[in-house]
């Protein structure tokens, strides 16, 4: 039953994809009337004006270009022409660094706040104010103080991924079942051992859920941040190709951003499953 459902769902997915590609192909195939112009002028104009070709690339153009990129993912022809692999690697490295720094701060801090009702109440107004700030709003402040665009981007990732992890850790730690704590207390388990053997495993699913939300937000933000700071990364690539008027490359970048985001989410989902316990 389950396998047949999966099979049918897969079939429907393929049909939907084929339909989408078909419509896309048909929609971009149409030709507009061609204006006659002098050959010199025509060389300055795009294919849309000279041959009436749609400005929006079709799926075949995108496919051909994607194949080109996939064959040479790591070429480097100078600052404005690097392989997609290199650009993605820059973005992933920035997200990874900012995110890991956020993990290192958010989880211990969340533990402390969650275990202390006083700290929890005292820090709550700050967290509530800081949490809804768009991470990009920090960018000018980061650029001014850090004076390095690449580190500023990492800071922006750090600041945007810290809140979901912090709040989930606080919540997870604060809502560990009283009876499990009481078990540890009757066994005279010390505070540190209790934190690692009872509170951490009990709160782990909630913490991992926060980490999963964070990685999603971090990947959303990196594209925008790299558009601002420039230089390298998939976000910069998108903006650079927009300036080059290469819609094909923009579409390819969009596709890859989606795939990498999905993979990051799947990795965290797997970790979450590993620490989840049935009750």
Partner 1 sequence: MTDKFISIEGIGKRYSGAGGAATTVFENLWLSMARGEFACVIGHSGCGKTTVLNILAGLDAPSEGAVIVDGQAISGTSLDRAVIFQSHALLPWRTVLGNVAYAVSSKWRSWDRAKVRAHAQEFIDLVGLTGSEHKRPSELSGGMKQRVGIARALSITPKMMLMDEPFSALDALTRGTLQDEVRRICLETGQTAFMITHDVDEAIYLADKIFLMTNGPGAVLAEVVENPLPRDRGRIDLHRHPLYYALRNHIVDFLVTRSKTFTTETPGHDPRNVPVVQIGKPGLTVAAASDEPRQTWMPGSSPGLSA
User: Which of 183, 259, 267, 269 is the binder for partner 1 (CB under 8 A)?
Assistant: 183
Q: Answer yes or no whether residue 197 interacts with partner 1 by CB under 8 A.
A: yes
> What burial letters (b/e) apply to 230-250, b meaning 16+ CB within 10 Å?
eebbbbbbbbbbeeeeeebbb
Rank residues 217 and 275 by Cβ distance to partner 1 and give the closer one.
Answer: 275
Question: Least distance from C-beta 187 to partner 1, angstroms?
Answer: 4
Question: Least distance from C-beta 242 to partner 1, angstroms?
Answer: 49
Q: Answer yes or no whether residue 189 interacts with partner 1 by CB under 8 A.
A: yes
Residues 6+ apart with CB under 8 A from 131: 163, 167
- Whose CA is closest to 213, among 140, 138, 106? 106
Q: Answer yes or no whether residue 279 interacts with partner 1 by CB under 8 A.
A: yes
Helix (H) or strand (E) holding 54: none
Rank residues 205 and 230 by Cβ distance to partner 1 and give the closer one.
Answer: 205
Is the Cβ–Cβ distance between 62 and 256 less than 8 Å? no
> What burial letters (b/e) apply to 179-210, b meaning 16+ CB within 10 Å?
eeeeebeeeebeeeebbeebbbebbbbbbbbb
Rank residues 41 and 196 by Cβ distance to partner 1 and give the closer one.
Answer: 196
Rank residues 49 and 181 by Cβ distance to partner 1 and give the closer one.
Answer: 181
Judged by DSSP in three states, 134 sits in coil
Q: Answer yes or no whether residue 187 interacts with partner 1 by CB under 8 A.
A: yes
Per-residue binding letters, 159-178, with partner 1 (x by CB under 8 A): ------------------x-
Residues 6+ apart with CB under 8 A from 162: 102, 105, 106, 214
User: Which of 107, 113, 198, 203 is the binder for partner 1 (CB under 8 A)?
Assistant: 198
| Among 1-9, 68-76, 125-133, 182-190, the segment contacting partner 1 (CB under 8 A) | 182-190
Interface residues with partner 1 (CB under 8 A) are: 177, 179-180, 182-183, 185-189, 197-198, 201-202, 275, 277-279
């Amino acid at each position: 039953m389950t396998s047949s459902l999966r099979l049918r769902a897969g079939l429907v997915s393929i049909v939907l994809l084929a339909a989408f590609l078909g419509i896309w192909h048909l929609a971009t195939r149409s030709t507009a009337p061609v204006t006659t112009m002098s050959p010199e002028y025509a060389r300055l104009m795009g294919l849309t004006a000279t041959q009436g070709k749609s400005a929006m690339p079709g799926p075949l153009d995108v496919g051909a270009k994607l194949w080109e990129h996939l064959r040479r993912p790591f070429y480097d022809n100078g600052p404005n022409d690097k392989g997609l692999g290199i650009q993605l690697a820059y973005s992933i490295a920035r997200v990874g660094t900012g995110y890991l720094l956020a993990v290192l701060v958010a989880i211990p801090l969340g533990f402390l706040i969650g275990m202390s009702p006083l700290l929890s109440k005292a820090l709550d107004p700050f967290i509530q104010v800081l949490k809804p700030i768009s991470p990009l709003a920090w960018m000018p402040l980061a650029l001014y103080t850090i004076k390095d665009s690449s580190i500023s981007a990492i800071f922006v990732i750090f600041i945007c991924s810290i809140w979901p992890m912090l709040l989930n850790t606080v919540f997870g730690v604060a809502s560990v079942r009283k009876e499990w704590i009481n078990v540890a207390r009757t066994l005279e388990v010390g505070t540190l051992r209790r934190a690692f053997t009872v509170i951490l495993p009990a709160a782990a699913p909630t913490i991992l859920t926060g980490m999963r939300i964070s990685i999603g937000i971090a990947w959303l933000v990196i594209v925008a941040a790299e558009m601002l700071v420039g230089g390298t990364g998939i976000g910069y690539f998108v903006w650079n190709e927009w300036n080059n008027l290469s819609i094909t490359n923009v579409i390819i970048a969009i596709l890859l951003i989606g795939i990498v985001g999905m993979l990051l989410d799947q990795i965290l989902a797997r970790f979450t499953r590993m620490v989840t316990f049935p009750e």
